[in-house]
Structure 1
């Protein structure tokens, strides 16, 4: 299916960044055995990928704003449109030589995400969606799962690490959810977690402590695949609050009740 001119720019840019990061990833695997380790190298790879993406998108649409993980936000001449970018989602996986990471690019228009692209170079899986046009993985249409029983459902989350204020709450979530479902996965890349919900691989996903660039592209892909997505606090805003829960329509209310402690 052919997308809009903006979507084509996003896909071309994501693939270019993916090729660059794939080369860096092969180097990271070699650095695992060195005394210094790959930490500094990965930081440079992350920053270089964002620079590549920023230059490509700003060249194609010089009046749009730009919000990325690594650099300061650029305000565009057109205040209604903004790119929201995570150049390397799953940095810790990348750092450890695990092939589960992605590039995430979203386009925001008047506060709403209208297009999203998530590219996983290791598996050559490109997830994408535009508002009103459905969600796709490469050339295949995506639909969320049809499971209707929590007991049959697998969920994903992102567990906090280090001194995080969210850890006690997340442990409470797990204590309520694990007895009620078929399993919980923690793969360390929120963009891919959302893409996997859209593809029906996961039945739902929730997480706290996120940023707009972590979820912007995945949000529209899930919704265009037929999923429901809300902030954990129903009165909040996903992109501003950094919390999300999403699932297929059949189990959404059950899942939300568990996560919200209802």
Structure 2
């Protein structure tokens, strides 16, 4: 599995270099929805990742955010987001990352998340722990939600759907020390893995948003589920990631009666 990990890291760094070197340039922005956008640098990053990984592993399958879906039945599939945090990037706000995961026969076995602005590389191989720039990391030891720093995000259809996370956000506001909204689910999950955040919840994410980060959080000692504390998979419509110690407390808030999920 080490050779897959090194290839993923190399691909993430190549893509990250493109993003880092072009963040202050005026790129082309395309709108996929009212607030859902993509830049030409998303596409350049995606092409760099695909070119590198497909040259290393020509028989592998691929799934990526910007319309890439290559299936050859190889048993291995790379699932990646070439730019997680596109809105931030388009506004020259330096919180974004490259997220790459490897799925083997339906199971995520490897994850890499790279923040090119801070040159922070998070990685994990299933069963092997989680790492930050080569050093093993663990989740926080906060056991009281009242003292927790947690994170979330909002779906792209927030303007038109009642299922938009606002009620959950309001319910958490008075029950935690603080809530952060970074704009990158992959980074939020890695921040849970290394103890910067104590918990994270979000809904309506895509497989490429969570595949790598969820594995890294788990390998860092974290706990992952849906909002009802049921088993999570990358196609779930909900994700809750915590240090494990405040997991049930967050589930309880998410399951408060008379809320719109």
TM-score between both structures, scaled by the size of structure 1: 0.90
Correspondence 1:110-189 to 2 at 5 A: 110-160=105-155, 161-167=158-164, 170-189=165-184
Identify, as 1 or 2, the structure richer in helix: 1
Identify the residue that residue 39 of structure 1 maps to in structure 2: 29
- Once residues 176 and 229 of structure 2 are traced to their aligned partners in structure 1, the CA distance between those partners, rounded to angstroms, is 23
Structure 1 residue runs of 5 or longer lacking an equivalent are 32-36
Q: Secondary structure at the match of 1:238?
A: coil
Structure 1 match to 2:225: 230
- CA drift of 1:188 comes to 0.5
3-state SS in 2 of match to 1:180 = coil
Contact 1:83 1:107 in 2 (8 A): yes
Q: Give 1:42 deviation, angstroms.
A: 6.0
What is the alpha-carbon distance in structure 2 between the residues aligned to residue 221 and residue 130 of structure 1? 8
SS of residue matched to 1:73: strand
Q: Is the 8 A contact 1:205 1:246 kept in 2?
A: yes
| Cross-structure match for 1:74 | 70
Bigger proportion of residues as strand: 2
Q: 1:68 to 1:139 in 2, by over 3 A?
A: same
**2:56 is the counterpart of 1:60:** yes
2:228 touches 2:251 (CA, 8 Å); kept in 1? no
Contact residue 66 and residue 76 of structure 1 kept, 8 A:
no
How far apart, CA to CA, are the structure 1 residues paired with 2:224 and 2:39? 31
Count of residues paired in the alignment: 249
| Equivalent of 1:109 in 100, 104, 128 | 104
Relative to the length of structure 2, the TM-score reads: 0.90
**Aligned-pair RMSD on alpha carbons?**
1.8
Q: Secondary structure at the match of 1:94?
A: helix
Query: How far apart in 2 are the matches of 1:99 and 1:52?
Result: 20
Instruction: Report how far residue 70 of structure 1 moved.
Output: 0.4
